[in-house]
């Protein structure tokens, strides 16, 4: 089955399955509820004066969005499969007027990304032999995924313009085709042999990147994908490289979600990257180092997967096909990504002369919020569970060079992780079985008030402040075998914070007069140990981080940005938290936060 999310004339989001009209070959997207209503009315067959029983699948109980449908898991997919088979036979043999009455021609609607607002949009990197094959410095490959989380504003559908602003395409941009897996059944601690049970299907992702976060390094403008030596630590390399990928519109997805039964072998697919019809690269999905089963099992060893999560598996060919500014500026230029049996994704490119209007944004996730009347929050309306995005700064304190080997920079380091890694104060935090020592810190976090891009005055978009207890699992660093690559050594600092609920926030967002967040005492307590610190030790504040992030990435109401570690942190061994421990933290004027740390048992839950 080919499944689609799309917009109808009144701007409302719909989803459906794609059927090719037998007489013309024209593709139609059919809404399940409308198709079933049509069949209930017209599909009865007179027999000996009686009416045969009408087909019934889910009646009026079809969910409103594709992600909500995927949450029905196996039962929903089985019902839809029966409906699609019935509709295809009915259209071919009985009454093809079902198509315009229950759906719309694909050419007449705006196709969205199949998952328009992905909770997890996680893209692997360096996942093919080409990254290590001819590198004389690579003596060993650590087989765990390296990858980045993309914000929802990066997702656009087929035909929507990949839009560059603030010079992100200068001196060049790059792109390549990637196979994406869409999760259909949620789970945590998923064993390898059951990983494919959690896959709904596949789609195409075009992995686009730009150079903005390279170019804003002092003296580095125009040098492309390179950095001066002082910015050579992995966490700024990741900020520069992945920040340019996290930018709005730079992760097209689609055109459809193709269910896994339609793809005989996901490791035997040809993959093509083209530019305006001309081939740029040809690759093969069998080149993957870490496959679908390994990645799903690995990710779920510390964090939950949910229906509608999207994992894309890195380029199998050339890493980043360059596109020069003249081509980016040419309105005829099209970026094309094709995967055999999955589909062809085509997007134009555009350069924005000024700010992109949020109510007409190419990303539906942004546009929907901007036009919904819910583009700003009041302090009492925020909860940790309502956040869409979670951003973390690294090396952002005065002693970071001595304690973490991260020098002071003119541009702040930041990365984002899944919002499910946020938890509410007072909650029980389940420590995964894989965890070893935990680094525990007390941090200052800021909550975003309003949908915002290109922020000029950061105070306009701050809802307030929170104390945050952060946990970082050292098992990721423990798993690195030397001699390792820089990314393999660096990424544990990010992954260590991604487990469910590992960043525990205060229960109340506190506005501060004049945003006076500096000079506030901080304390952290675990058992009989206490450490103290001050918010004055932070280098970059909310102003620097909000302006840096929003230059490329639209911030959403409720997003959380933490200023990161200070020297106020503790290390808890597994023996210390084995029986459970309560961790407490506080920031002067912002209140206290606490979390109960409870080790998970060895039982598998999938």
- Please tell me the predicted confidence (pLDDT) of residue 10: 85
- Please tell me the predicted confidence (pLDDT) of residue 133: 84
433 or 43: which leads in pLDDT: 433
Q: In the beta sheet, which residues pair with residue 595? A: 583
Rounded Cα distance, 368 and 360, in Å: 9
**41 CB-side CA count, 13 A:** 10
pLDDT tens digits, one per residue of 555-565: 999 999 999 99
Task: For residue 46, give every residue at least 6 positions away whose Cβ sits within 8 Å of its Cβ, in sequence order, or none.
Answer: 52
Specify the 3-state DSSP secondary structure of 565.
coil
Cβ 523 vs Cβ 585: under 8 Å? yes
Going through 411-461 in order, the beta strands assigned E by DSSP cover 413-418, 422-424, 428-431, 438-448
CATH of 374-606, one of 3.40.47.10, 3.90.850.10, 3.30.830.10, 3.40.50.300: 3.90.850.10
* Residue 52 pLDDT class (50, 70, 90 cuts): low
Rounded Cα distance, 431 and 601, in Å: 9
Task: Answer whether residue 123 shows pLDDT above 90.
Answer: yes
Give the H or E element holding residue 18: strand 13-20
Beta strands across the sheet bearing 162-164: 162-164, 343-351, 334-339, 270-275, 278-284
Q: What share of the chain is helix, strand, coil (3-state, %, to 5)?
A: 25, 30, 40
Cβ 210 vs Cβ 250: under 8 Å? yes
- Please tell me the predicted confidence (pLDDT) of residue 601: 67
- Please tell me the predicted confidence (pLDDT) of residue 421: 98
Cis peptide before 56, with omega less than 30 degrees from 0? no
Task: Answer whether residue 51 shows pLDDT above 70.
Answer: no
- Please tell me the predicted confidence (pLDDT) of residue 596: 96
Structure tokens at 308: 């509608």
Q: Class of the 112-210+247-373 domain?
A: alpha beta
Per CATH, 112-210+247-373 and 374-606 having the same topology is answered: yes
- Stretch 133-142: mean pLDDT, rounded? 85
Q: Domain residues of the chain, as ranges?
A: 2-110, 112-210+247-373, 374-606
Rounded Cα distance, 537 and 587, in Å: 13
- Please tell me the predicted confidence (pLDDT) of residue 494: 97
Rounded Cα distance, 299 and 190, in Å: 9
- Please tell me the predicted confidence (pLDDT) of residue 49: 46
Q: Which among 80, 146, 147, 109 is positioned nearest to 14, based on CA atoms?
A: 109
Task: Answer whether residue 603 shows pLDDT above 60.
Answer: no
Structure tokens at 8: 């109808």
- Please tell me the predicted confidence (pLDDT) of residue 392: 98
Q: What is the DSSP letter of 197?
A: G
- Please tell me the predicted confidence (pLDDT) of residue 48: 47
Rounded Cα distance, 428 and 161, in Å: 43
pLDDT tens digits, one per residue of 72-120: 999 999 999 999 999 999 999 999 999 999 999 999 999 999 999 999 9
CB-based burial, 297-317: b 16+ in 10 Å, e otherwise: bbbbbbbbbbbbbbbbbbbbb
Residue with tokens 């912002």: 590
Cβ 277 vs Cβ 264: under 8 Å? no
Q: Which among 169, 123, 116 is positioned nearest to 146, based on CA atoms?
A: 123
Q: Which among 389, 392, 475, 468 is positioned nearest to 432, based on CA atoms?
A: 475
Pairing relationship of beta strands 591-599 and 581-587 according to DSSP bridges? antiparallel
pLDDT tens digits, one per residue of 511-551: 999 999 999 999 999 989 999 999 999 999 999 999 999 99
CB-based burial, 107-117: b 16+ in 10 Å, e otherwise: eebbbbbbbbb
Task: Answer whether residue 222 shows pLDDT above 70.
Answer: yes
* Residue 605 pLDDT class (50, 70, 90 cuts): very low
Cβ 330 vs Cβ 144: under 8 Å? no
Task: Answer whether residue 602 shows pLDDT above 80.
Answer: no
Task: Answer whether residue 388 shows pLDDT above 50.
Answer: yes
Measure Cα distances from 147 to 193, 242, 245 in Å. Answer: 23, 9, 11
pLDDT tens digits, one per residue of 304-327: 999 999 999 999 999 999 999 999
Mean pLDDT of all residues in the chain? 94
* Residue 54 pLDDT class (50, 70, 90 cuts): low
Cis peptide before 185, with omega less than 30 degrees from 0? no
- Please tell me the predicted confidence (pLDDT) of residue 351: 97
- Stretch 33-60: mean pLDDT, rounded? 74
**Global pTM?**
0.96
Cβ 291 vs Cβ 128: under 8 Å? no
- Please tell me the predicted confidence (pLDDT) of residue 604: 41
Q: Please give the share of the chain, as a percent, with pLDDT higher than 90.
A: 90
- Please tell me the predicted confidence (pLDDT) of residue 374: 86
Structure tokens at 269: 């697919």
Residue with tokens 């997003």: 559
Structure tokens at 592: 């206290």
């Amino acid at each position: 089955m080919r499944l689609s999310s799309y917009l109808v004339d009144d701007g409302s989001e719909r989803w459906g399955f794609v059927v090719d009209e037998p007489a013309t070959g024209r593709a139609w997207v059919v809404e399940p509820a409308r198709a079933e209503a049509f069949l209930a009315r017209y599909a009865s067959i007179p027999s000996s004066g009686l009416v045969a029983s009408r087909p019934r699948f889910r009646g009026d109980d079809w969910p409103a969005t594709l992600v909500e449908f995927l949450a029905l898991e196996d039962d929903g997919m089985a019902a839809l499969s029966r409906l699609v088979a019935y509709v295809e036979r009915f259209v071919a043999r009985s009454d093809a007027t079902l198509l315009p009455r229950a759906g719309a021609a694909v050419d007449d609607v705006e196709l969205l990304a199949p998952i328009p607002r992905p909770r997890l949009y996680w893209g692997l990197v360096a996942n093919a032999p080409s990254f290590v094959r001819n590198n004389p410095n690579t003596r060993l490959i650590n087989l765990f995924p390296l990858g980045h989380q993309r914000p929802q504003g990066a997702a656009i559908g087929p035909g929507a313009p990949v839009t560059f602003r603030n010079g992100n395409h200068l001196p060049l941009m790059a792109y390549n085709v990637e196979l994406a897996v869409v999760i259909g059944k949620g789970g945590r601690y998923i064993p390898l042999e059951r990983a494919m049970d959690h896959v709904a299907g596949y789609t195409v992702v075009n992995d686009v990147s730009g150079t903005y976060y390279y170019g804003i390094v002092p003296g580095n403008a125009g040098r492309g994908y390179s950095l001066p030596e002082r910015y050579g630590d992995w966490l700024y390399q990741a900020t520069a490289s992945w920040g340019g990928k996290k930018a709005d519109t730079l992760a097209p997805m689609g055109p459809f979600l193709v269910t896994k039964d339609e793809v005989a072998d996901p490791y035997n697919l040809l993959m093509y990257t083209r530019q305006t019809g001309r081939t740029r690269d040809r690759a093969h999905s069998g080149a993957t180092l870490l496959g679908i089963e390994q990645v799903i099992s690995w990710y779920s060893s510390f964090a939950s997967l949910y229906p509608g999560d999207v994992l894309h598996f890195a380029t199998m060919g050339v890493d980043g096909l360059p596109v020069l500014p003249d081509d980016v500026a040419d309105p005829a230029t099209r970026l094309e990504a094709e995967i055999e049996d999955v589909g062809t994704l085509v997007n134009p490119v555009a350069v924005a002369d000024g700010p992109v209007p949020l109510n007409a944004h190419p990303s539906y996730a942004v546009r929907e919020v901007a036009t919904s009347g819910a583009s700003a929050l009041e302090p009492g309306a925020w909860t940790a569970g309502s956040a869409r995005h979670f951003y973390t700064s690294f090396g952002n304190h005065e002693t970071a060079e001595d304690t973490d080997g991260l020098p002071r920079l003119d541009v702040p380091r930041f990365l984002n992780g899944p919002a499910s890694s946020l938890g509410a104060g007072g909650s029980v935090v389940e420590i995964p079985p894989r965890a070893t020592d935990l680094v525990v810190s007390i941090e200052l976090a800021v909550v975003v008030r309003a949908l915002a891009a290109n922020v000029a005055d950061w105070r306009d978009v701050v809802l307030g402040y929170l104390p945050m207890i952060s946990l970082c699992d050292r098992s990721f660093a423990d798993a690195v075998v030397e001699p390792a690559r820089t990314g393999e050594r660096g990424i544990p600092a990010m992954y260590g914070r991604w487990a469910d609920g590992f960043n525990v926030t205060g229960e109340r967002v506190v506005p501060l007069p004049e945003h006076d967040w500096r000079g506030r005492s901080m304390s952290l307590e675990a058992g009989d140990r206490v450490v103290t610190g001050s918010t004055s030790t932070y280098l970059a504040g909310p102003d620097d981080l909000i302006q840096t992030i929003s230059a490329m990435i639209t911030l959403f109401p409720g997003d959380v940005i933490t200023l990161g570690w200070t020297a106020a942190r503790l290390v808890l061994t597994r023996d210390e938290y084995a029986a459970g421990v309560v961790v407490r933290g506080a920031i002067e004027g912002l209140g206290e936060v606490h979390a109960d740390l409870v080790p998970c048992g060895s039982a598998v839950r999938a």
